[in-house]
Structure 1
Amino acid sequence: MSSVTDFLLNRASEPRLEAPAPDASTLDRAFACAARAPDHALLRPWRYLVIEGDGLNALGELLAAGYSDMRGKTDEKKLEVIRNKAQRAPMIIVGIAAPKKHQKVPEVEQILSAGAGMSFLALALQDAGFGVMWRTGELVYNPVVLKGLGLEKGESVIGFLYTGTVSCTKPAVPRPELAEFVARWPL
């Protein structure tokens, strides 16, 4: 098989990330890869927000506000934990599904296209030598967070792609046996 297959078989999510983050040229190339995702009818049902520097502090405050909205009154210690989630990497890329009304392309296909774009983006960044970790969690669905990120009606966050330089390697994650998730049909 090709070097692409070898690369995919060895890729891993990296939770421990530090500066530097990708430079503008590397990021542009990675977004060009994201735009190669399967896209029925060329609707481009995705968009991205790049957050770094002081934006990470603002994201932390937004996450804390969303958490307070969900939980009501919370203690400052818990809010600080939530704020610090935005400091896990020097760059966070927010992937947004932005489906368009179309008679032949259902919304689910468009959301899957946005997810594929996010995957291509992650792979391109890893190929450039950076680590990534795709994270979600209940806060990415919170209305306060969605409004604060500027999402339009019908849009949704598909994930936060934490991006940076890998600070330390982690143990390999066991992968499932193919027979656990692959079957021939008809059975």
Structure 2
Amino acid sequence: MSAGAYEAALTRRSRSKVSPETPDHDELVRLVSAAGRVADHSGLEPWRLIELRGTDRHRLGEALAEAEGKRSPSTKPLRAELLIAIVFAPKKSHKVPEWEQEAVASGVAHVLSLLLDEAGWGVLWRTGELTRTEPVHRMHGLAPQEKLLGWLYVGGVLPRDKPERPRTIDGARFITGLPTA
């Protein structure tokens, strides 16, 4: 077995705090080109990404505040210099149900987060109830059928004060056979 994908999955970490450095647009395009190779029944490509930098993050903070009924803009989008909005963009298909298409969009986001992590960037996938609100939908310019799945917050990796303890998963706990008839 090749160690690349296995090691990337084992060593991936969510980084809630990142430094201001970010991948440039060209590096992002290269990584998205690889992430878009996820399993995609009928090759529908039911996803797209929105790159948010600079004042885009302030606009998102205003939309989040509007969605929450608050006066002051949210500062959450300012926690990273680059946010990548993950958009589920379903396509009409008699063959591929919508839930399967949404799984493809989620797969692209997850693979992209692995690739960014492997390239040395800090990444955190943020979600929440506000992703499906009208002000946030409008701010992103989403079409009526599109849904926001969250944002990848991306930046440089900060040094840790404490050594990281990898989270371990007991794979055997999650694999079962069919129940007996």
Give me the TM-score of the superposition, normalised by structure 2. 0.90
Gaps of 5+ in 1: 69-73
Deviations 1:70-124 (A, max 9, x none): xxxx4x5xx45xx110111110000000011101011011000001111111111
Contact 2:85 2:151 in 1 (8 A): yes
Other-structure match for 1:118: 109
Deviations 1:41-61 (A, max 9, x none): 111100010001111111111
Separation in structure 2 between the aligned mates of residue 146 and residue 180 of structure 1, nearest angstrom: 38
SS at the partner of 1:164?
Answer: strand
Distance of aligned partners of 1:157 and 1:124 in 2 relative to their CA distance in 1, 3 Å threshold: same
Other-structure match for 1:50: 51
Contact 2:11 2:166 in 1 (8 A): no
Separation in structure 2 between the aligned mates of residue 147 and residue 108 of structure 1, nearest angstrom: 23
- 1:94-173 matches, within 5 Å, as 94-169=85-160, 171-172=164-165
Pick aligned residue for 1:182 from 171, 175, 181: 175
Gaps of 5+ in 2: none
RMSD (Å) for aligned C-alpha atoms? 1.7
Higher helix share goes to which structure? 1
Deviations 1:21-68 (A, max 9, x none): 101221111110121111111111000100011111111111111111
Give me the TM-score of the superposition, normalised by structure 1. 0.87
